[in-house]
Structure 1
Amino acid sequence: MDVNRVKQILSSSADIDVTYQGVSVWIDELMEDQRLAAVHLRGPLEERSQVAIEDLIEE
């Protein structure tokens, strides 16, 4: 995924399905200068991680 698409997803009210390594995640924040995104798992665990934006996939 690219920076502009992450920005669009963050500003959208739609429920956009994004995965990281095959796991569905929510994007919480974009750290553009580091090309990272803060994400958490969808579901009860809500484990938070910082991942490279190019590793995010829009389903």
Structure 2
Amino acid sequence: MNTTRAKQIYESDETISVMLDGDSVWIEHVDEANGMATVQVSSIPVTTKTVSCDRLQEQSH
């Protein structure tokens, strides 16, 4: 996904499913200047990763 959409999901009041490499993640921060997002892996809540926004995929319901 693009950085703008990642920021929209981060700021949304809705719960929007986002995937990273097959794992469900929560977006914790979006660095718009660098196109990066810090995410928390749902299956391992203490694990955070900083990845390029283009690696994130929004799941449609």
TM-score normalised by length of structure 1: 0.90
**Long gaps (5+) in structure 2:** none
Name segments (4+ residues, structure 1) moved above 4 Å: none
Residue 15 of structure 1 is matched in structure 2 by: 15
Report % sequence identity.
33
Residue 52 of structure 1 is matched in structure 2 by: 52
Amino acid at match of 2:31: M
SS in 2 for 1:25: strand
Rounded to whole Å, the distance in 2 between the matches of 1:35 and 1:12 is: 18
**Long gaps (5+) in structure 1:** none
Rounded to whole Å, the distance in 2 between the matches of 1:5 and 1:33 is: 14
Q: Which has the higher helix share?
A: 1
RMSD, aligned CA: 0.9
Amino acid at match of 1:27: I
